[in-house]
Structure 1
Amino acid sequence: MAKRKKHKKHEEHIDESWLVPYADILTLLLALFIVLFATSSVDASKFKQLSTVFNEIFNGGTGVMEFQSPVPDTNPSNTESNIKVSGAKTGGANHEQEELREMQTKINQYIQDKQLTNKLGTKLSDEGLLVTIRDNVLFESGSADLRPEDRKISKDISNLLKMDTPRSVVISGHTDNVPIQTYRYDSNWDLSVMRAVNFMKILLENKKLDPEFFSAKGHGEFKPVASNKTSKGRAMNRRVEILIMPRAEAGN
């Protein structure tokens, strides 16, 4: 009797070829949603980063999503207007400096004519025009009352501060570091403040000056310009300063 041949059972093979296009579709959809999300916030730097990543993923970084600004500037006048604004600011600042320089020349001429070079001085900086007056020009030691003989200098200075268009003017008082305590002034703070205020009052007796643009403050001994270890240095630190500031609109 012939033996029956045993037939081996073959496992059934499942066709998985559909997975490849399915995976490609999912990848493309994911990429689409990421791009839509990124571009919705219109962030140029993020857009550029995404562009680079997807270019590398799909074809080695070239061609598919070459970066361009998501919101191109279609108005070339924007750049031109920015340049004009910047130029206007620079021009305004230069004009301010030129006007302050003219005022410095006028004050320096007064100082020279009155032979006050050892008592008054000027300095021009970005903060404005600084006029320094040594305290021995205006006050007795330890006093904030202007000496009668020096009121003439104060009047002359007030005339030099007349401007067609007013600027802010800050009067500040300074002392050396020698402690002071009298029945009128408890400290160098008090003395420096009152010197600034009293000098400002004399200036504003000139009715051609607008008090709205003037202010006064005291620094005591805390902003020295020289060493307090010598008598010469202490004399330089005892001073009143007039800061004539650039007009505010020049910086806008």
Structure 2
Amino acid sequence: MSKKTRHEPHEEHADESWLLPYADLLTLLLALFLVLYAMSATDARKFQEMSEAFSIALTGGTGVLDYSKTQPSDDPPDLKDHKATAPTTPASTPDQRRAELMRQEQEELEKLKKQIDNYIKNNGLTSELSTKLNHSQLVLTIRDNALFPSGEAVVKPEARKLAEAISQMLQKFPDYEIIVSGHTDNVPISNSKYPSNWDLSSDRALQFMKILLANSSLDPKRFMPIGYGEYHPIADNATAAGRAKNRRVEVSIIRKYQDSATFTSVDEAGN
């Protein structure tokens, strides 16, 4: 009788439970090397994003890879929260900056007009001087009889005090261009000194400007004298009263920022 082959009992399989922590260890080592590599890069923002991603994947968002915990901060927590939630203020546009400069200029010129108006009122000169502020300039108008003898351009001694007072007010606003202009009526003049109204008006503007510039605080390069003769009247030359208004000197403070929009004009003092 044949002998039956006897099978040896099977050996027990080795315990493989060690593979799980071993795989975890390899994963952690891989993550560690990736983090170390990221730390060697110069882009801190990418490192932060990578480290936060690994922290979330491996530790549920907390742990040794939490980048925010590795960075010291001098800010208190409430300040850091404020930084994170504070809205960013948009930069002003060129149009907004120009609008703000125009607003500031309007305030400056209104202030200067008020100072001149107070001087006119306090010195009883309302019939001889007036001011007007419009979209392009602040104009101080002086009747010629307050400044000059008839047909002459020599400033009266008593008018020098007025010129000096005006120069003191102008020196507080040194950044503006100033035009001093002379005007006459349409009655022709012809003498040995002034062959035309052009000559008379030009010389009057120049002589009054020289007195203003006796104040050394004023910058001469910002001043310009102009003679308009009879060609820019503000009243009807057909009457004596109209011709008297047309004979004048104007000191114009020119706006630096002008716009086609109409500003609210401040009418002449006393009107």
Q: Which one of 202, 215, 227 corresponds to residue 206 of structure 1?
A: 215
What is the Cα-based RMSD across aligned positions, in Å? 2.2
Partner of 1:138: 147
Q: Is the 8 A contact 2:131 2:141 kept in 1?
A: yes
1:176 to 2:188 alignment: no
Q: Which one of 200, 214, 237 corresponds to residue 228 of structure 1?
A: 237
The C-alpha deviation readout for 1:63-82, integer Å capped at 9, x for no partner, is xxxxxxxxxxxxxxxxx989
Query: Which secondary structure does the structure 1 equivalent of 2:132 belong to?
Result: strand
Partner of 2:176: 167
Query: Which secondary structure does the structure 1 equivalent of 2:172 belong to?
Result: coil
CA distance in 2, matches of 1:238, 1:245: 22
Query: Which secondary structure does the structure 1 equivalent of 2:93 belong to?
Result: helix
Q: How many residue pairs end up in the alignment?
A: 172
1:129 to 2:129 alignment: no
1:153 to 2:162 alignment: yes
CA distance in 2, matches of 1:200, 1:149: 16
Query: Which secondary structure does the structure 2 equivalent of 1:207 belong to?
Result: coil
The C-alpha deviation readout for 1:119-173, integer Å capped at 9, x for no partner, is 0000001111100000000001110111122211111111121125421100000
Q: CA deviation at 1:188?
A: 0.3
Q: Is the 8 A contact 2:139 2:253 kept in 1?
A: yes
Q: Is the 8 A contact 1:89 1:250 kept in 2?
A: no
CA distance in 1, matches of 2:162, 2:125: 10
CA distance in 1, matches of 2:258, 2:129: 29
Partner of 2:103: 94
Q: Which amino acid aligns with 2:102?
A: A
Partner of 2:47: none
1:106 to 2:115 alignment: yes
Q: Which amino acid aligns with 1:202?
A: I
Partner of 2:93: 84
- Tell me whether 158-167 or 91-100 shows the greater mean CA deviation: 158-167
Unaligned 5+ runs, structure 2: 1-88, 261-271
Q: CA deviation at 1:250?
A: 9.7
CA distance in 2, matches of 1:81, 1:198: 52
Q: CA deviation at 1:83?
A: 6.8
Sequence identity (%): 45
The C-alpha deviation readout for 1:180-228, integer Å capped at 9, x for no partner, is 0010001000000000000000110111111111100010000000000
Q: Which amino acid aligns with 1:182?
A: N
Q: Is the 8 A contact 2:181 2:202 kept in 1?
A: yes
Which TM-score applies when normalising by structure 2?
Answer: 0.60
